[in-house]
Every structure is written in structure tokens, then in C-alpha cells.
Amino acid sequence: AFPKPSKRAKQVKDLSRGAYVILMSGTPTPESYSQMYHQVYGIPGNPFRGYKNFYRFCDDYVDVTERMVNSLMLKFYNKGLPSILEAMRPYTISFSQKEAGFKSQLNEQILRVPMEPRTYAMCSELRKHRVIDGKKEVILADTPVKLMSKLHQMYSGTVKFESGEAMVFDHSKAQFIYDRFCQDKIAIFYKFKAELQALKDVYGDELTTDLKEFYDGDKTIALQIVSGREGISLRQAKALV
């Protein structure tokens, strides 16, 4: 949630006490400009130091909206204004990939994957009833955040139950990736652990999660989106999925 600092932001604040700080990031605000407040709140002299907390910062820098969710009126702080970047400009050195000397050009495409009919039916049922009670397991979405997370999982063909166990029930997404890219050495980013299992089910021995094996051979690599997206070279991959 934007109003509260992440664990990482708290750690940076503790580490930077009394020190000169240079923060480096490819995407400092991946979801909203509003995230900038806690990126720098622990650094003395930051441009938002005059605000007592995130909420007072929002008075000037965020278009706060309200929406009714489950009969409750909730405030949302994701619409950070461009003035946040303007306030940060004197403290920022920005380079595009071209300016930094990158030679490769990005060719981005959105690929739409048709899932099995039962996947859409299950998602509709969860939206309507907020719970799916199976013979052995339960899918529960009793809050807006859990509903969003469960739908994200299920539209990829996987789900994590209340017990903590996970299941792959639709391999359509993994099969689509394989059918389209099986002739190429690529890197696939997954979000949920069960998605990795779906990829393993389809790819078999053609898939690895080990960077050395990826570098030394012809296998496609699967990486967790958070832990695997920074600090590694994937130049051998013909595509990133």
C-alpha cells in the first residue's frame, strides 16, 4: 500500500542515516509516482521533507480518489501527479538506454492467450461469490486485494488455496508460450511458483532455472519476476516473455 513504506524503504532509511546517498534504479516508481515519497523519505534534504507523512504529501502531489468497495468507501492514492517528478528533477540524473550506449532496440508485443472455458467460469464464480469451495480445498477472496490476487493467479491457470497448497489447472498459457517459442532460446518471467510448475510440465527438460546452464546450453530459462529481473544478463535470449 502506498501510504506505508515497504520493508526495503525502511532498511534504506536505517542504512542512510548520516550518509551521502546515491540511489540507482531502472524503474523507481513502477506502479505510481506516489511511490516516490517512500523511496526518498529517509534521506535528509529530500524535496518532500516538509511533509509530516505520506498523507500530507498527498495533499499537494496526489489526486486522491474514492471508490466504493464492498459497501465501504475507500481512498486510493495511486494517481501521483507529474509535479512529483518535477520536484525530484534537481536531484536526478536520467539516462535513456540509447544515451547509456545500449545498441539493442525493444520490439514489444502483447500476446493474448485464450484459456480453457472452465477457467473463465471459475473466475466469474469467484467474482460473484468471493469463494469457491471444492472437495478438498477452498479458494477464498474475502477482501478486494485477495480477489485481485486470486484472479491474477487463475487467469494464468494456477491458484494457491487457503491451505497454502497450490495447483495448476489450466496449461493453456504455458502451452501457448511453448508453441510460439519452442524453436528459440528465450527467458520467461513468472510471478507465482505454480506458474513455474506449469512451465516445467510443458517444457520438460528443455527448461532450466539455472543461469549457468542457460548460458552454456540451448535451454530456455524461467526466472521469478522480482528476484530474476535485476543484475543479470539475458542477452543470449531471443525473446523475453
Question: Minimal CA–CA distance to 207: which of 232, 181, 170, 233?
Answer: 181
DSSP H or E stretch at residue 193:
helix 193-203
Neighbour tally for 82: CB within 10 Å: 9
Q: What is the pTM of this model?
A: 0.62
* pLDDT bracket for residue 1 (50, 70, 90): low
Question: Minimal CA–CA distance to 126: which of 145, 142, 102, 106?
Answer: 142
Q: How far is CA 76 from CA 65, 66, 112, 141, in A?
A: 5, 6, 29, 20
Tens of pLDDT along 67-121? 887 778 888 888 999 999 999 999 998 887 778 777 767 788 999 999 999 999 9
Residue 229: the pLDDT is: 64
Pairing of strands 158-160, 166-168: antiparallel
Quick check: 201 pLDDT over 60? yes
Better-scored residue on pLDDT, 83 or 9: 83
Q: Would you state the cell numbers that stand for residue 209, as one nine-digit string? A: 532455472
Mean pLDDT of the chain: 90
